[in-house]
Amino acid sequence: MTTRVRAERDAAFTAFVEQASPSLLRTAWLLTGDHHAAHELVQAALVKTYVVWPRVRPEGALAYARKILVNERTDAWRRRRGEVVVGEVPEAGVAPSSTSEDRDLVVRLLAGLPDQQRRVVVLRYYTDLSEQAVADLLDISLGSVKSAASRGLAALRTQLATTDGSTR
């Protein structure tokens, strides 16, 4: 590979990283519930994306990196079989207008979901992917996405009702 071609590839990837990192970081944070783990997850996903960057289509780059991110999260979960949720909430949280209490509540509620429900809820409703896109990304059936989303939202509503009643 010539120096010029490598420089062009690196420039394109750098532009992609600058554009996609905030979205990937928010998704990773919601998937992990931990600021540091989210940064590590995004870094691992970007490293793997860079390795295959010459084969990635520009219009599908974010979806490709997001799939790697989700797969990395699943692999990490399988290795650890658990996670530690910390009280720190990064500024790149749920929404710019939300309070830190709201962001903390969202992370705590999501942490109470089983892993697949959490992934489906985050990808479907936070990153606004279609049911089919979530099914493709997680390599599960459309019915599994619908079921996990329905159960996840029901569990979140129940947890929120319990939280609202006990803390407010």
C-alpha 46/C-alpha 40 separation (Å) is: 10
C-alpha 95/C-alpha 154 separation (Å) is: 22
DSSP type of residue 55: G
Residue whose pair of structure tokens reads 């990395």 in the numeric block: 72
What tens digit of pLDDT does each residue of 94-134 get? Answer: 444 556 677 778 888 888 899 899 989 988 888 888 899 88
Closest to 58 (Cα-Cα) out of 2, 25, 13, 7: 13
Q: What is the pLDDT of residue 73?
A: 83
What tens digit of pLDDT does each residue of 66-85 get? Answer: 999 988 887 766 665 544 45
What tens digit of pLDDT does each residue of 136-164 get? Answer: 888 899 999 999 999 999 998 898 888 76
CATH 1.10.1740 residue ranges of the chain are: 1-81
Fold of 1-81: Rna Polymerase Sigma Factor; Chain: A (1.10.1740)
Closest to 41 (Cα-Cα) out of 85, 78, 5, 75: 75
Q: What is the pLDDT of residue 49?
A: 93
* Residue type present at position 152: G
For the cut 60, the answer to whether the pLDDT of residue 63 exceeds it is: yes
For the cut 60, the answer to whether the pLDDT of residue 90 exceeds it is: no
What tens digit of pLDDT does each residue of 23-53 get? Answer: 999 999 988 888 898 999 999 999 999 999 9
CATH 1.10.10.10 residue ranges of the chain are: 97-168
Q: What is the pLDDT of residue 93?
A: 42
Domain spanning 97-168: which CATH class is it, in words? Answer: mainly alpha
